[in-house]
Amino acid sequence: MTAGSPWFRATNPPEDTEPDPAPPAYGAQAAPYGAAQAPEAPLGDPDAYGTPQAPQEAYEAPYEPAYQGGYETAYATTRAYEPIPAPDPGPAYDTPSPAPDPAQDYASTQVLPPVPAYDGADMAPAAEPPDDETMALRSLGEAAAPAPVRRTEPLPPPGPGRAERRRAAKRKGGRAAPAPAAPQPSPTPERPLSRVEARRAARAAKDSFGVVLSRGVGELFITFGVVMLLFVTYQLWWTNIRAGQQTDKAKAEIENSWDQGGDSGAPGAFEPGKGFAIMYIPKLDVVVPVAEGISKTAVLDKGMVGHYGEGRLKTAMPADKQGNFSVAGHRNTHGEPFRYINQLKPGDPIVVETRDAYYTYKMTSILPQTAPSNVSVIDPVPKQSGFTKPGRYITLTTCTPEFTSTYRMIVWGQLADERPRSKGKPAALVG
């Protein structure tokens, strides 16, 4: 900081202060540094103005002016310019200022206009003006800087417009097809898994023991259900179809043997499992062959009716003059010839055809349920039948309730008519 700075002028100098002499012309011999100069205006209290003070030494410490509350006193005059020393021949980074014009009137710049009082609100430090020497370079650099380029992805090709879709719909006779979807970018390939990650993924993909067990139990139940369904289908449907085929075959064989003069039908003349008669129940629309014996596999399961003709259960034949002709048959499955015998009423006909004659019985009574061990129902004079003396009777036995073999159902009948085959069918079959 120099003593000639305009910010360090005396406060309220005397009015009769003589102006400083004009600076010498550019290039004139300057006074050596430190030469005696005119004493500066006194500083300090303006009330003590006019009192001579000793010259003050230069203040070398950094100047940090304190806030004095406001600039209320205007500068009256300006200090005169100090003599400009000769230019240093050394390197200079700034362009030298032009030489001042001696003829310029410095008196016009001696007094500055009054400075308004500072109120601390509206005044702000003025912005520093830009350097004139670098303004052109900055302007040139700003103008030459290229604008940032925004990189954008290529847009997908536009689809057909609304008018085109309507025309296409009219040509096809329907609504306009939706615009094709924009192509999706290909997925980014995933990085391969490490060995540890692959093991963890494989371990996580395996099912736990509980899942495997529940799945096995579920599959077992499903298999069992399917097997049961197939078994029921076999019992209720397929066995009847198969029994119908076998009974038709057995009936044809019986009729052929009659035409060829086969067995006469005397007791003991038929082998077990061999058919010898045909039974008709007109009310139930039943026509079934009668075979010797009550074997389940050889007779009953083939859809035929079995005659009790073996061992102590041996009963009479239709041609006998007295006795109880007793037969057995399935109520359910395997042809089920006796399924609806519980619907028979007293007087309903039951016809048995042999090689020589037709034997017509009339239904008399029914025993809805009895134990399988009750063999007295097939005695020559069956008990619980209502018969009291020997005669020519018929007994039908089957299982009950339906689809079980817990008990036996018994139906009895008594012979009402015997007609030779040569005379034709009886009235019960003709009507």
CATH number at residue 279: 2.40.260.10
Residue 80 resides in a domain: no
Q: Is the pLDDT of residue 163 over 60?
A: yes
In a domain, 154, yes or no: no
Instruction: Answer yes or no: is 424 within a domain.
Output: yes
Beta carbons within 8 Å of 148's beta carbon, 6+ residues apart? none
pLDDT, average across residues 253-273: 76
Q: What is the pLDDT of residues 101-160, one digit of tens each?
A: 545 544 444 455 555 555 554 444 555 555 555 444 454 445 444 555 555 556 666 666
- Mean pLDDT comparison of 15-24, 41-50, 71-80, 225-234, highest-scoring range: 225-234
pLDDT of amino acid 270: 77
Name which residue leads in pLDDT, 90 or 239.
239
pLDDT for position 138 = 52
Residue 310 counted as domain residue: yes
pLDDT at 144: 47
Question: How do residues 311-351 score in pLDDT, each as one tens digit?
Answer: 889 999 999 999 999 999 999 999 999 999 999 999 999 99
Mean pLDDT calculated for residue range 150-175: 69
322 found inside a domain: yes
Average pLDDT over residues 59-63: 51
Is 406 contained in some domain?
yes
Active site includes 330? yes
What is the average per-residue pLDDT within 294-307? Answer: 94
The residue with greater pLDDT, 141 or 57, is 57
Q: Which candidate in 250, 341, 399, 409 is catalytic?
A: 399
Q: Kindly state the average pLDDT of the residues 174-182.
A: 56
Tell me: the pLDDT tens digits for 103-112?
554 444 445 5
Domain count, the chain: 1
Query: What pLDDT is attached to residue 2?
Result: 45
The catalytically annotated residue of 330, 331, 334, 408 is 330
Residue with the larger pLDDT of the pair 42 and 291: 291
Asked if residue 35 belongs to a domain, the reply is: no
Domain hosting 348: range is 245-261+269-429
Whole-model pTM over 0.85: no
The verdict on residue 345 lying in a domain is: yes
CB 110 within 8 A of CB 77: yes
